[in-house]
Amino acid sequence: MSYELFKLVPIAAALWSISAWGGGIQTLETVEVVDSAENPLGMADAASQGTVSAKQIENRPLLRPGELLEAVPGVIVTQHSGDGKANQYFLRGFNLDHGTDLAVTVAGMPVNMPTHGHGQGYADLNFLIPELVSRMQYKKGPYYADEGDFSAAGAVRVDYAESLKEGIAELAGGSDGYRRLLAADTVKAGEGRLLYAAEYFHNDGPWEVPEHYRRLNAVLRYSQGDGANGFNLTGMAYQGKWDSTDQVPQRAVDSGLIGRYGSLDPTDGGDTHRYSLSGEWRRSGAHGVTRASAYAIDYRLNLFSNFTYFLDNPARGDQFEQADERRVLGADLSHAWLGKLAGRDSEHQIGARFRRDAIRVGLYSTEARQRWATTRDDQVEQSSFSLYYQNTTQWMEKFRSVAGLRGDFYRFGVDSSLAANSGKTGDRILSPKLSLVFGPWAKTEYYLNLGYGFHSNDARGTVISLDPKTLAAADRVQPLVRAKGAEIGLRTAIVPRLQSALSLWRLDIDSELLFVGDAGTTEPSRPSRRSGIEWANYWTPASWLTVDADLAWSRARFTDNDPAGNRIPGAIEKTLSVGVAVDNYHRYFGGLRLRYFGPRSLVEDDSARSQSSTLVNARIGYKFNKGAKLALDVYNLFDRRASDIDYYYQSQLRGEAAPAWDIHSHPAEPRSWRLSLILNY
């Protein structure tokens, strides 16, 4: 890589509209930096880093907004409750619960919620409007200085467009009470552009207790300038309300007590809102690239669940409410510039990040959504500050390094309804990173990545003294938990029109976070090690046809050799995703996607395992003219009887003399369809 080309790389990486990687493999929207889209090497720092463009998202059939993340190779997105609740995420040997080690941002704002009522790192993407997404950037592993909490397994940044090429009006309906209305457009406003979007959504699902999920979304974004110099101000509003059919024990279905889509507590459900105001500013010039952003979020969730039925309270049942109400303030600042290091061409980048969460979080015993006892009620103040430095140096024509150091500093303050569980504490952690990039030779580049990362634990656990249910002594948890990762990989475009990436990786974490059925949350557990291999492919045999295929295999084990067993419950082992997309073939467009979700251990000794699932979703559409098209989406095309997710734990049904261990499952939805009329203006 010549110095002239090298000079363009950091500028291009800092701007939003230069590059996009598809299906895990880098492709380009413009070609100023590389020779052509057939030779997209020289910008990624790892084989597992990439970007998904808006074009690749357009023809993906999405049952839920969160499934957009399945465009990231190796990611599986499911649901174990009502659709208004955050999805369940799987990646790299993890059952990530609702986001504990997968950091997600949308329009520059973090989605993960620390010290959340339902689970650490809770990441609800129901406020996402897929039609507004301009691209998704993803990174796997703890190798990047600009990624912090929750990013040990990976990080996904979802960017919203600052303007739409044309207005969108969509009217959709389908099976199981599905209805959707969407209107979005961009209008000129003074010296800038005003993008607006509004969405109404309703769905009942196949459940015997209709879901009645109602979702309202609105986005208003004002922007000026371009990807190099400009700013935007964005307001978002989301409200959701639903009834849930949570996972149910297999014995209840086998005995005929309930049907496959039945519920053992018809009063489960929830309601939530998320309001935000954010701004982003960017400047580039002879002295480098500077970016700044700030955000404010108002969030609330009241979630009613019953996973154990009558185990704890045979008279009133085990339903509980998890309540979370918070206000979040945050800001990011970064600056990148070109220089020299040991006489070699070099890019320097520094950054800082601040976040403060003011939280009221509670756990209550309820019956038919009515509180009758308080387990705990806490006021939490949690703040974090991070600094990072990253250096990229071109040591030789075909060898460059990316070295970084990140420091994170946390403060926790808890004012609990149980005085013994109140207190203040803090923690800090340093995370060095190193990536070595070799090539390209014969249109093939090679990578070696090493890095330290972390995830934070729930603030309440960092100061706890007594179990709030039993009042027994409780151990405090480490506030920040170390992760260590390594990866080797390659990326190649040696075959015309085919881009491939292969990576072998390992990740160690000092303390695992596991789902606890009777509390409906996560708790710290044993240290773990994961390793695996990923293979991602993106093929464009014709201008109107693309094919992607991603295969991932993982091995996950606890490392402390407990007699109970060393398997990590719920850890993903094998996934396969294959997709075909057609666009502008005469007047037709569409897509077909197959997703294989392999079997998993559900208990440490591997004595209980989940079944695998293979689901196929399809979309077919016809463009009547430039301004109107009709699309039909069919989900679970072959009507497979599969589980979205399985757990193994104790529960007790009404009338049972004693609790029983059982597999508890949330079924994948049967075949359903949605028909959309889309008008562009």
Residue 428 lies in a domain: yes
Average pLDDT estimate for 525-532? 93
Peptide bond into 440 cis (omega under 30): yes
Comparing 475 with 275, which gets the higher pLDDT?
275
Residue 243 lies in a domain: no
Kindly tell me if the per-residue pLDDT of 35 is higher than 90.
Answer: no
Kindly tell me if the per-residue pLDDT of 174 is higher than 60.
Answer: yes
pLDDT at 516: 56
Residue 282 lies in a domain: no
Residue 387 lies in a domain: no
Tally of structural domains, the chain: 1
Residue 92 lies in a domain: yes
Distance of alpha carbon 70 from alpha carbon 74, whole angstroms:
7
Which residue range forms the structural domain that includes residue 611? 3-155+267-275+299-327+355-377+398-680
Residue 96 lies in a domain: yes
pLDDT at 162: 96
- pLDDT band for position 514 (cuts 50, 70, 90): low
Straight-line distance from the first to the last Cα atom of the chain, in angstroms, rounded to the nearest whole number: 44
Main-chain phi, psi angles of 344, to 5 degrees: -105, 150
Residue 230 lies in a domain: no
Helical H segments across 269-384, by residue range: none
- Are 596 and 607 within 8 A, CB to CB? no
Cβ-based burial of 150 (10 A; exposed 0-12, middle 13-18, buried ≥19): buried
CA 82-130-201 angle, to 5 degrees, is 45
Average pLDDT estimate for 378-395? 97
Residue 675 lies in a domain: yes
Distance of alpha carbon 71 from alpha carbon 92, whole angstroms:
15
Distance of alpha carbon 233 from alpha carbon 269, whole angstroms:
34
pLDDT in tens, 303-325: 999 999 999 999 999 999 999 99
- Are 36 and 477 within 8 A, CB to CB? no
Kindly tell me if the per-residue pLDDT of 18 is higher than 70.
Answer: no
pLDDT at 470: 85
Give the whole-number percent of the chain exceeding pLDDT 90: 86
Kindly tell me if the per-residue pLDDT of 393 is higher than 50.
Answer: yes
Kindly tell me if the per-residue pLDDT of 5 is higher than 80.
Answer: no
Which CATH number goes with the domain that contains 586? 2.40.170.20
- pLDDT band for position 8 (cuts 50, 70, 90): very low
- pLDDT band for position 524 (cuts 50, 70, 90): confident
Whether pTM > 0.85 for this model: the answer is yes
pLDDT at 522: 56
